[in-house]
Copies of this chain bind each other. A is one copy, B any other.
Amino acid sequence: MSFDRLIKRIIELKNPTVVGLDPKLDYVPEFIRRRYLDNDGWTLKAAAKAIFDFNQAIIDQIHDVVPAIKPQAAYYEMYGHYGMRTLEKTIRYARLNGMFVITDGKRNDIGATMEAYANAHLGAVTIGDSQLEPFGADALTVNGYLGTDGIKPLVDICRERDKGIFVLVKTSNPSSGELQDRLLDDGTPIYAAMGDMCEKWGADTIGEYGYSAVGAVVGATYPRQLSELRERLPHTMFLVPGYGAQGGGAEGLVGGFDKNGLGAIVNSSRAVMCAYKKEGCDERDFAGAARREVLRMRDDITQRLR
């Protein structure tokens, strides 16, 4: 109904971060790749199996430290339906381990079709007497370019099933300003107008911490806009990508949080998945290196929130 479940877990673990699982095959250590590619050949199926083992080992090592994972759908679609099976299994495994799962799909469409996406990723599908959860994540990232009727089916499911969405507002990439920073005729930048729509869409779903089920994606790479939007959107939880590998530093993140140190969750993907490469440790210790990196990230961010 809101992001209360996520926020509770952030408070319990004293850790407002999320690990992006965007597993390119060359992030996966060779000993795992060989486990499948040597036996099954260089196939999409073998790659998808190797990626699941990689994800599973990382989840084992981080689930008691980090509240959430964020699998990026593109890196699963890359391996066709085998990859999507790995996405399903990764989501299930993370949830069994108590983690909150945000599928990063940036889905968007007209109302009837958005209902299909909402059921696919957050809800259930009815087949005869069965109610089946295809992917079963806790939250989904979405794109609001189509306006309210592309968002409403999601909000309905958030309300019914205690789920959440994050709408793209100000993205972390270099060219995000080409459209998002343009000013409307009343002087509002497009990203701020999109943010205002998030406040409106979430208005009936505000939880006990003051945040609704409709969050926003706001990049760490744009600290000025992050602070500005925190002020402007008091009920909108932020998912903040761009920390670490994309160049956003911890100082710039502080403005994304409210006065209680809540209201934002910061994502890191590559720096965690490839921590073993940066450390230069034995690749068999890749999940241990991931754990050391998430602890470092937690401390790097939380020490600035006090």
Write the residues of chain A forming the contact surface with B, with a CB cutoff of 8 angstroms.
22, 24-25, 37, 41-44, 46-47, 72, 74-75, 77-85, 87-88, 106-111, 113-114, 116-117, 119-121, 125, 127-130, 132, 134-135, 143-150, 168, 171-180, 182-185, 187, 190, 193-194, 197
Given pairs A147-B177, A150-B173, 5 additional interface contacts (CB within 8 A): A24-B116, A44-B132, A75-B116, A145-B145, A146-B173
In the complex, are the beta carbons of A120 and B180 less than 8 A apart?
Answer: no
B134→A77 contact, CB < 8 A: yes
Bound Cα distance from A187 to B173, whole angstroms: 26
B175-A148 in contact (CB<8A): yes
Query: Which residues does chain B contribute within 8 Å of A106, judged by CB atoms?
Result: 107-109, 143
Q: In the complex, which residues of chain B have a beta carbon less than 8 angstroms from the beta carbon of A121?
A: 77
**What is the bound-complex CA distance between A113 and B187, given in angstroms?**
32
Q: For residue A44, which residue of chain B has the nearest CB?
A: B132
Most chain B CB neighbours (cut-off 10 Å) among A83, A88, A146, A171: A146
A-B contact pairs, 11 of them (CB 8 A): A25-B127, A47-B127, A74-B113, A78-B120, A80-B85, A84-B84, A106-B109, A108-B143, A150-B175, A183-B185, A185-B187
Assembly CA distance A176 to B108 (angstroms): 12
**Distance in angstroms between the alpha carbons of A184 and B177 in the assembled complex:** 14
Check A125 against B44 for contact (C-beta < 8 Å): yes
Name which residue of chain B comes closest to A144, CB basis: B179
CA distance A43 to B173 in the complex (A): 40
Distance in angstroms from A244 CB to nearest chain B CB is 14
